[in-house]
Amino acid sequence: MSILRMMLREIQHQKLNFMAATIAVIVAVALFVGAVTVSDASRRETKRLMRDLGFNLLIVPKNTDMADFWSRGYAEEEMPEEYVTRLDNLSAMTIRHLVARLQQEIEWRGRRILLTGVIPERRARKGAPMGLNIPRGEAYVGFALARAMNIGVGDIISVGDKQLIVKRCLAEKGNKDDIRLYAHLHDVQEILGKPGRINEIEALGCLCFGERELARIRRDVAEALPDTQVTEFRSIAVARSEARAAMDKYAAFLIPVVFLGSVIWVGLLALGNVRERRGEIGILRAIGVDSSRIAVLFLGKALILGLSGAGLGFVLGLGLAQQLGPRIFPFTFNNIAWGSTSWPPLFGWSLVIGPLLCVVASYLPTMLAVAQDPAEVLKEE
């Protein structure tokens, strides 16, 4: 009788044991697929939320006194607006999401306010554009400013020689943003009489490696714009780095624990099967069936078990992720949908992990089975 037929007979004879082991593999692979999928979505969701914290780099003219900058809230020195284009065109640049700003404290309606001009990000290298997107002729008003001056959406306000329509009254921030009047950069340049001038560039940089990466960014910016300096918003950079590290540790802990628990489950079932079949194994050894053939029988059965459980477990795991994903991670659900490009490699890994789990779990019980002395086993039976 061929090994394959013996495997099929073995499976048919031990239906309940095979079904219990298959359930273990299905659960293991489903948990693996769900954990990887949800971890990926969680990492992307965390990245999106961290991005919404704002920019973590500030580029200002080199002779800016940063003590005065933090006291005043903006740089008095200026630089050409085309510096943004120059940085954006550098293919090797290590920063992205470049947004130019021109801001200055002015007297308006008897109050000192921060007039801030921003221009929409011209080209997002990766991800959605950042920064305010204010069309020309419109204005966004800070919370405290809008409340103190009774300004509402739809009001027309005059700033200098320009009239602007209020499109948004911003939520309370608890900082100087509450006394800002935002408008398009070119409108603010006209109001202040500073065409083509800016006094800062906000940017988002990957600071995963801390000071080393920051030094590289400063070197790259200095080569492109030698008369500027780069300052890091340390608290934002640290928050991003720690959040991503936490998610990586979570995934690195969960997946091995799931795998180990499933190996123990399947291994105990395989050991129980071997103990129940001691008599049959002894008879096979006594009539001359080679121990390697018996080992192939049990490990081959484990391989079939792993492949069948892997397919069903993948479908179950991805199905659960698809059902639960939109409720947990509404913004990154497209990364775990059936139509996404991320699941074919995951399916391949499932077909590797399922059989591997079963073979690893069955190896020790199988070796115990073939190592038994058939004479001792039959004497006990």
Check: pTM over 0.85? Answer yes or no: no
In the numeric block, which tokens belong to residue 360?
């690893």
Query: What is the structure's pLDDT at 339?
Result: 47
First to last CA, the chain: 25
**Residues 231, 65: Cα–Cα separation, whole Å:** 12
Query: What is the structure's pLDDT at 148?
Result: 92
Nearest CA among 52, 45, 24 for reference residue 250? 45
**Residues 253, 250: Cα–Cα separation, whole Å:** 5
Residues 138, 183: contact at Cβ < 8 Å? yes
Mind giving me the DSSP string for 321-379? HHHHHHHH-TTSGGGTSTTSTTHHHHHHHHHHHHHHHHHHHHHHHHHHHHTS-HHHHHH
Q: For the beta carbon of residue 92, count every other beta carbon within 10 angstroms.
A: 7
Query: What is the structure's pLDDT at 279?
Result: 59
Query: What is the structure's pLDDT at 263?
Result: 72
Query: What is the structure's pLDDT at 118?
Result: 92
Q: What 3-state class would DSSP assign to 236?
A: helix
Residues 356, 306: contact at Cβ < 8 Å? yes
Phi/psi at 50 (5° precision): -65, -35
- 381: amino acid identity, one letter: E
Distances (CA, A) of 250 to 37, 52, 149, 256: 13, 22, 49, 11
Strand ranges in 174-272 using DSSP code E only, listed in sequence order: 180-184, 197-198, 200-205, 228-232
Nearest CA among 180, 178, 243 for reference residue 208? 243
Phi/psi at 106 (5° precision): -135, 165
Residues 6+ away with beta carbon under 8 Å from 275: none
pLDDT < 70: residue spans in the chain: 1-14, 17, 35, 38-54, 91-94, 122-129, 205-212, 233-252, 254-255, 262, 270, 273-290, 324-343, 369-381
The secondary element (H helix, E strand) that includes residue 53 is none
Residues 294, 369: contact at Cβ < 8 Å? yes
Query: What is the structure's pLDDT at 303?
Result: 82
Query: Do the bridges between strand 156-159 and strand 138-141 make them parallel or antiparallel, or are there none, so unpaired?
Result: unpaired
Nearest CA among 343, 347, 360, 346 for reference residue 261? 360
Looking at residue 226, the DSSP 8-state letter turns out to be: T
Burial (0-12, 13-18, 19+ Cβ within 10 Å), 324 = middle
Query: What is the structure's pLDDT at 194?
Result: 94
Nearest CA among 142, 140, 185, 188 for reference residue 162? 188
Give me the residues paired with residue 113 across strands: 106
In the numeric block, which tokens belong to residue 341?
């490009």
Query: What is the structure's pLDDT at 209?
Result: 47
Q: What 3-state class would DSSP assign to 74?
A: coil
In the numeric block, which tokens belong to residue 79?
């630089």
In the numeric block, which tokens belong to residue 72?
């005043």
**Residues 119, 102: Cα–Cα separation, whole Å:** 9
